[in-house]
Amino acid sequence: MSQYYEHYRKSSIGLALIDSLDELIQSGHINPQLAMRVLAQFDMSIADALSTRVRNRATFKAHLDNYRSLDDVWTFVLLNPIFRFENESIPADKVKIVACKARVPGET
């Protein structure tokens, strides 16, 4: 189980799950161990979904404001990025990218 990244928990869907689990813990309906188990399952499910159910490509250009590489995790802060999907172009004033090293198949 440990071969799945946890950083997708910070996505909208992950944070929503964390909030829901938090509430169930606070009200005493589940214990934290069960919540951690659910999150571990989320790590697997989202990784699976992204790698097998998402097919679209994107390109983006930006000014790189700041960067960091630590323990195989790259963090970029981009200014004025424009993300281009096939038929859609999305500008933003600022974006943070957190990228973990892609898994080589077979490697744990």
Partner 1 sequence: MANTAVTAVYRFVIDDVITNVRRDFEDMGVDETILHELQRSWENKIAQSRVTAFQAPETNAAAGAYPFEEQGYEQPTTVSATIPAAAAVAAPVAVPAAGTVTTTAPPTPAALASAAVYNYRVEQTPAANLANVASATLPGDNSNVGRPQQHVPPRPPASGNNNNTNNNSRISLPGGGRNGASGSNDNIPQTDGASDAVVELEMMSTAELDSYVEHKFREAQETQKQTGQAPGEVTFTLTLSDRAARKARRDGLEGFTLGQVDGEEDEEDDTGLGSDLDDSDGDMDEESDNIVLCQYDKVSRTKSKWKCVLKDGVMLINGKDYLFHKATGDFEW
4 binds partner 1 (CB under 8 A): no
89 binds partner 1 (CB under 8 A): no
Which of 101, 61, 96, 59 has its CA nearest to residue 76?
96
The DSSP 8-state label assigned to residue 83 in this structure reads: E
3 binds partner 1 (CB under 8 A): no
- Give the Cα separation of 95 and 80 in Å (integer): 8
Distance of CA 74 to the CA centre of its chain: 13
Task: Choose, by CB under 8 A, the member of 3, 103, 105, 108 that binds partner 1.
Answer: 103
Report the site for partner 1 in 45-84 (rule: CB under 8 A): 45-51, 53-64, 66-69, 73-78, 81, 83
